[in-house]
Amino acid sequence: MYRFGVSLTVIVIMLFGITALGGQSLTRAQDATPEAGATTRTDVRYVVPFGPDGLNSGLTATTEEEGVCGFPSSAALDRPDAWDCAGAEGQIYDPCFENPFILPDDPGQVACFDSPFTTDVVVLSLTAPLVRQKDVPDAGMGLAQAAGVALEPWDLPWALELANGDQCTLLGGTLTVMAGETAHYGCTDGGVVFGEVNHRQPVWTVNYLAPGEVASRLVEVVAAWS
């Protein structure tokens, strides 16, 4: 009798196709979502909408208008280049990421996203200079500090892709408290994420409540976006 040993090694490589210098196409997070338990490390992803030649070719500017950015972003909390901005008619956009290839003395430009799961953006040409004295550790965390809450980077990423396939973005405005926990994220499938993201292990987890369920459960985070 012969025994054959078959060894199969599967290497799953998740590539995020936004590059600062290549102008290559944007790869959306939902293009490759591993099943629950398959994740060995949460994929940390940074949105980089501009290259040396302008807006990344994988993005579509649905609107181009003038605007101002007077406050740090309350969505992309750990990004010193992310802003809360207002458009020509007073529309609020957050987060908006600045173009790092524009000279400091030239009028600034930002790209504003609803979420990282879409390639549509609003491009604002700024009519007032950005306040660049923003400290990285404090960026976007003013509301949390005012409430007496100490946040570390990645406690509340801008967006999450979960192992169950749901996609969640950080909520703004008045937040709901249930079971003594704040619902920080709203998800596309109707679920919510309570509390902060547990990012102290290679695979991050969140407390997720699915619509119609009476109890929340821990779900792995496939990708976290900033």
> Whole-prediction pTM value?
0.76
Residue 68 domain-assigned (yes or no): yes
Cβ-count burial 153-170 (b if 16+ within 10 Å, e if not): ebbbbbbbbbbbebbbbb
Q: What are the pLDDT digits (tens) for 11-50? A: 233 333 333 333 333 434 334 444 445 679 999 999 999 9
What pLDDT, on a 0 to 100 scale, did the predictor assign at position 198? 96
Least Cα distance to 170 among 204, 120, 206 occurs for 206
CA Rg value for the chain: 19
What pLDDT, on a 0 to 100 scale, did the predictor assign at position 105? 78
Residue 225 domain-assigned (yes or no): no
What pLDDT, on a 0 to 100 scale, did the predictor assign at position 123? 98
DSSP assignment of 164-201: TS-EEEE--SSPPEETTEEEEEEETTS-EEEEEEE-SS
What pLDDT, on a 0 to 100 scale, did the predictor assign at position 25? 36
Q: Rounded to an integer, what distance in angstroms lies between the CA atom of residue 97 and that of residue 47?
A: 8
Q: Rounded to an integer, what distance in angstroms lies between the CA atom of residue 6 and that of residue 35?
A: 23
The total number of structural domains in the chain stands at: 1
Residue 187 domain-assigned (yes or no): no
- Look up residue 196 and give its two tokens: 């902060």
What pLDDT, on a 0 to 100 scale, did the predictor assign at position 150? 67
What pLDDT, on a 0 to 100 scale, did the predictor assign at position 133? 56
Q: Rounded to an integer, what distance in angstroms lies between the CA atom of residue 71 and that of residue 44?
A: 25
Q: Say if CB 223 and CB 206 are below 8 A apart.
A: no
Residue 94 domain-assigned (yes or no): yes
Q: Rounded to an integer, what distance in angstroms lies between the CA atom of residue 182 and that of residue 86?
A: 27
Q: Say if CB 92 and CB 35 are below 8 A apart.
A: no
Residue 38 domain-assigned (yes or no): no
Residue 149 domain-assigned (yes or no): no
Residue 1 domain-assigned (yes or no): no
Q: What is the mean pLDDT of each run of 10 residues along the chain (226 residues)?
A: 35 33 37 57 97 96 96 92 95 96 88 97 94 52 48 91 97 89 95 96 97 96 97
Structural domain range at position 114? 49-137
Task: Say how many CA atoms lie within 13 Å of 146 toward its Cβ.
Answer: 5
